[in-house]
Amino acid sequence: MKTRFQYGAPALSGKAGDLTYCFRKDNGIVYARRNRYPRITDNNHQFGSTVRNLYRIKPSPGYINDLRTYRQAYLKSHPANKAGFNSWGNIYLKLMYEMQRFYPAIDLKSLSRGEITLRDLPCKSVKSSIEAHLLPIVAGWELLDSQI
């Protein structure tokens, strides 16, 4: 739920009693939600181990900058559709899972940088990912060619 503060109180962030307050920098709105702790299942552990392995690849700074540039261009061309494009990390994970959907033989739990270059996978650069239709086309995508 959106929250309003009286008397010009500053934006809250964090926990206060039974509620958690979240401040969104992009729109300046504070949201409040009840404190809930989800049940941990096997799916959570599988997802966690996959994400840990994907971040162990350690993309190069140029690749990360290309993902940030892609994010900015995407938000300019699709202002109403911001879902999943909050940071370079979200785009990186979305790209990897989309690649697994197109190439089911790829195991994201054991994927390494060496395997990416050896098999010439499309996630090696943002440009090749767009050419392989793993990410939507944005303006200036031809320049996003830094290797992972």
**100 vs 19, residue with greater confidence:** 100
Indicate whether 91 pLDDT > 70: yes
pLDDT given at position 84: 62
Q: Report, in this order, helix, strand and coil percent for the chain, each rounded to 5.
A: 45, 10, 45
pTM, two decimals, is 0.72
pLDDT given at position 4: 53
Smallest CA-to-CA distance from 66 within 117, 129, 119 is with 129
Q: In angstroms, what CA-CA distances link 84 with 3, 47, 71, 74, 144?
A: 24, 16, 10, 11, 20
Q: DSSP states of 52-110 as a string?
A: HHHHHT---HHHHHHHHHHHHHHHHH-TT--TT-SSHHHHHHHHHHHHHHH-TT--TTT
Please, is 15 exposed, middle or buried when counting C-beta atoms within 10 Å of its C-beta (0-12, 13-18, 19+)? exposed
Q: Read off the pLDDT of residues 29-88 as tens digits, 9 standing for 90 and up.
A: 777 777 777 888 888 899 999 999 988 988 999 999 999 998 888 888 877 776 667 888
pLDDT given at position 16: 60
Question: What is d(CA 16, CA 32) in angstroms, rounded to the nearest whole number?
Answer: 10
pLDDT given at position 13: 56
Section 76-105 average pLDDT: 84
If phi > 0 it is left, if psi is from -120 to 50 it is alpha, else beta; for residue 39 that is beta
Q: Read off the pLDDT of residues 109-135 as tens digits, 9 standing for 90 and up.
A: 988 888 888 988 888 889 899 999 988
Question: What is d(CA 32, CA 23) in angstroms, rounded to the nearest whole number?
Answer: 9
Q: Read off the pLDDT of residues 14-28 as tens digits, 9 standing for 90 and up.
A: 566 677 777 777 777
CA 89 to chain centre: 4
